[in-house]
Structure 1
Amino acid sequence: MHVPACDTAQQDIQSFSLALEEALLPQADYDVDHWLYVPNCYCDYRYILGTRGSRPLICVGINPSTAAPNDLDNTLKSVERIALGNGYDSFIMFNVYAQRATRPDDMEKVCNPALHQENMAAFRWALEQTKTGAPAIWAAWGAIIEKRSYLAHCLRDMVEIGNDLGTCWYSAGARSKKGHPHHPLYLRKDSGLDPFDVNSYISSCL
């Protein structure tokens, strides 16, 4: 369980570029040739957690919980399983908002623009890791996107970046009555990916 110690606006937020530079250095507790973990230590926010490869599936949830390299939670285990099962060689777990909170109700009430800006830098970098073909994004945030009004604005910024880089969006499993994509937990291990029109989703569901 992770409950935020305070709002991220009260903390010094490390830039994604600096956090990435440190995360690429050898680490004592995990193999950097296998794992991507930015920042590379446990704190109240996380930009990226995933594995290395040339064709990653980029899964987008709402916000991080407690997972770390060599210690994936059930959601991340499902993400990795479905990524590999659909022909990708790696996965990157990304989130609409970077603040850690096991319970979405504990997320801060107001968006921290500095944290959001660095999270978008991380998102662009993640998309650029696809070496062949278009970057593949798995929309997997569920109805939790309704928890905070700022989440829809954060997602719109992500979609703009994705549009610039020619991404392909997918969902897995049944969508909600409102059209929200299914969360990775509780999906069948052999779940396939379906095309997801994220631009229509934003205009009609958010």
Structure 2
Amino acid sequence: MYNLYVSNDQDTARFILGKEGKRKLFVIGLNPSTANKEKSDTTVAKVEKVAKLNSFDGFVMANLYPHRSTDPSNLPISVDKGLIKRNIEEIRKQASLDSFPVFWAAWGGNIVTREYLTAAFHQIDALVRELNGTWVNYGELLKGGHPRHPSRLSYSWSFQNFDPNLY
């Protein structure tokens, strides 16, 4: 189903999931849920459709934190710095293959549940700047100024420029 897939040996952390293309959309969610190389989930299915509807022929789903959890409140209290480091490396490997990559901020309001999620965003933002990438969000920002999560979107919405300095 997906020809881009990078996880740890136990598949308890997923770094990259997606499909190759000449023009890929890089999506940064909060953390991975259940999707894997062989099966999608609601979030990834919506990401793929939004990418196609907006003239992207591929996509890369990555996250602020790669630890799998169906409920963000169950993420570890303490950060695993090794996971963060590898996460940044894997995003870099994929995004450096594209000229002027577009990054969709897609983590939702739960970024506030763990301090390390905001810190991870800052590291990814530094990478986006280094690669001459741009940030977008889909639909209006949430009341707290956070970008919307893809599982709760309307296909009638559109991309807007996202200001990373909000964080």
Q: Do the two structures share a fold, i.e. TM-score over 0.5?
A: yes
Deviation at 1:69, TM superposition (A): 2.5
Deviation at 1:153, TM superposition (A): 0.7
The 5 A counterparts of 1:114-153 are 114-130=82-98, 133-153=99-119
Kindly name which structure, 1 or 2, has the bigger radius of gyration based on alpha carbons.
1
Deviation at 1:139, TM superposition (A): 0.2
Tell me the C-alpha RMSD between the 2 structures: 1.5
Match of 1:88 in 2: 56
Match of 2:159 in 1: 193
CA offset digits 1:42-62 (Å, max 9, x no partner): 611010000011211011101
Match of 1:111 in 2: 79
Identical positions, percent: 34
- Contact kept in structure 2, 1:85 and 1:190, CA below 8 Å: no
Deviation at 1:192, TM superposition (A): 1.8
- Contact kept in structure 2, 1:53 and 1:89, CA below 8 Å: yes
Deviation at 1:126, TM superposition (A): 2.0
Q: Which amino acid aligns with 2:109?
A: A
Match of 2:134 in 1: 168
Deviation at 1:125, TM superposition (A): 1.3
CA offset digits 1:100-151 (Å, max 9, x no partner): 0110111111111111100010111121132xx4100000001010110111
Partners of 1:162 and 1:48 in 2: how far apart? 16
The 5 A counterparts of 1:16-165 are 35-39=3-7, 43-130=11-98, 133-165=99-131
- Contact kept in structure 2, 1:82 and 1:192, CA below 8 Å: no
SS, match of residue 119 in structure 1: helix
**TM-score between both structures, scaled by the size of structure 2:** 0.94
Runs of 4+ in 1 over 3 A off after TM superposition: none
Partners of 2:12 and 2:37 in 1: how far apart? 16
- Contact kept in structure 2, 1:96 and 1:155, CA below 8 Å: yes
Q: Which amino acid aligns with 2:52?
A: L
- Contact kept in structure 2, 1:82 and 1:190, CA below 8 Å: no
Deviation at 1:176, TM superposition (A): 1.3
SS, match of residue 49 in structure 2: helix
Deviation at 1:41, TM superposition (A): 6.5
- Contact kept in structure 2, 1:47 and 1:94, CA below 8 Å: yes
Partners of 2:113 and 2:4 in 1: how far apart? 28
**TM-score between both structures, scaled by the size of structure 1:** 0.77
SS, match of residue 109 in structure 1: coil
* 2:145 aligned with 1:179: yes
Gaps of 5+ in 2: none
Partners of 1:52 and 1:101 in 2: how far apart? 25
Gaps of 5+ in 1: 1-29
